[in-house]
Chain A
């Protein structure tokens, strides 16, 4: 009897152990987000949703630097101390802080590191090479596919000669995008006229300075301008000046059209990279990715208000039309 009991207990124990080894492993991910902002919040949400949908059990330590670089650095050091399976940073300044903390950490505390929502990872010093990041770092870049955006604007306005760009010269992301659009302008034969605003209160005046000087305005993914978008739209309607944006949320708010960059999907795509790293792949071997899915959103009411007609070809391609 004792023997049978013992055998039964042993069986139970073995089954228990087996069950435990089958049940999923829990990973820890420490996140350094630079600022609370709809786009960056959506990145985190998309990231977390991807891992959840793929049944990867993750415990998160989410930190937010409140747009303060000193805090971002402190958070980065804290994250190293948390000893997670993966370090993650959202937006450039946080990404640089984490990269530095990871580089300074003692050998046994260094962790794989994934950045996202960074426009130019090479200029930011995060990786040496997009294809072969090397080291412990890889990530997903939100560099706009500018040629596709400009192509869309030109389909709308084939006679475009002067394109106004409204941005904050203090945002690294915008700076990179403006340089790219200027290059395209030289190739495609239109002139770029810049107007900058250092804070949301200056946006209205900056937009006003473009009236009469340009045929249309393009707004890149610029936090400052997007925050005060309504004041730009007002000028667009009053002066029949078409306003195009780089993000789809702005189309719902009243911009004419955008070749959508959905930050939720950006995060979702980043989640897939995280899965590969947690699965044991080395970040060094994973090339930096760029946004894959783009959606065309068109606002026909705004088009009419700003004096242009959406071309049939675009309307057919659009995934969402606001009327």
Chain B
């Protein structure tokens, strides 16, 4: 792996890390497996790309993307809480609806952003070389997002979110409406995923309706790798682990792209297999550790 590829992997890890933090919020904190993300990531990208090409400031376009993502998450959560549709099914329904909506937003499957204004321009204008601008901007966003989430979960409302995931019966008996909390939590999660999508689109030069495929896989893989490698004893540590898990996940993909053992070389088509093996390893390592200790 070249230095350049490694830098690229860190950059990708940080920008998708914002999505992973969103996935952590639903998957681990709220105990709500949410597949909406495969649709809300391109939703954020579409909104941001269309806003930018119609002349809006790239930073303001992020706010629109966040709002769009929040709305998408809310819809999934309302379907689940108010209409009693199973969470997995509710999120799949929102996800497939978003496919059509994203094409509507972009009036087509793809909007090019090559050469358009992006969030990197002000940073590059300050003299940061363009290959580092991504790492800097995404790193900053990731730190902000982690700080915000950790602060939020410390507030009274945040405590209610934590409790809703842990013990819904107890929190209901305390007079908190769990429905509202779930709608808020899933909305926030998808707002982050959409923010990630908007930044991804600006980074790779296009929003594409197909760019969300596999988001949940990458998200869960990163969460699990992060937990296994960095631990999750405190809320702060858990979210940092999720972010670093994303970076690690991308680094492994970068390595898999260039792996050679003597005359043996992986085929380009082996990438999905390698990803799956990686996640399986991360999943079973804690169990093996536990068994060894028990002996």
Report A's interface with B, CB cutoff 8 A. Answer: 33, 36, 62-64, 66-78, 80-83, 92-93, 96-97, 99-101, 103-106, 109, 123-126, 169-172, 175, 198
Contact = CB atoms under 8 A, between A and B. Distances in A.
Given A72-B204, A125-B116, 18 more contacts: A36-B268, A36-B269, A66-B269, A69-B211, A70-B200, A70-B214, A73-B204, A75-B257, A76-B204, A78-B5, A78-B257, A81-B4, A96-B206, A104-B134, A125-B205, A170-B103, A170-B109, A170-B210
A80 B271 contact: no
Contacts of B257: 63, 74-75, 78
Interface in B10-34: 11-12, 16
A74 B114 contact: no
A96 B4 contact: no
Interface-central residue, A33, A66, A69, A109, by most chain B CB under 10 Å? A69
B205 A100 contact: yes
A68 B16 CA distance: 13
Given A109-B4, A169-B103, A175-B108, A100 B268 contact: no
Given A81-B2, A93-B206, A100-B205, A124 B131 contact: no
A99 B114 contact: yes
B206 A106 contact: no
By DSSP majority rule, is chain A's interface helix, strand, loop, or mixed?
helix
27 contacts: A64-B269, A66-B271, A69-B200, A69-B211, A70-B200, A70-B214, A73-B8, A73-B12, A73-B200, A76-B8, A76-B204, A77-B5, A77-B7, A77-B11, A78-B1, A78-B2, A81-B1, A83-B2, A93-B210, A96-B208, A97-B205, A100-B205, A100-B206, A105-B130, A124-B110, A125-B205, A171-B109
A66 to B, nearest CB: 5
Interface residues of B, number: 49
Contacts of B254: 74, 78
Contact of B112 (A64, A106, A124): A124
Interface string B95-134: 0100110010000111011111000000000000111011
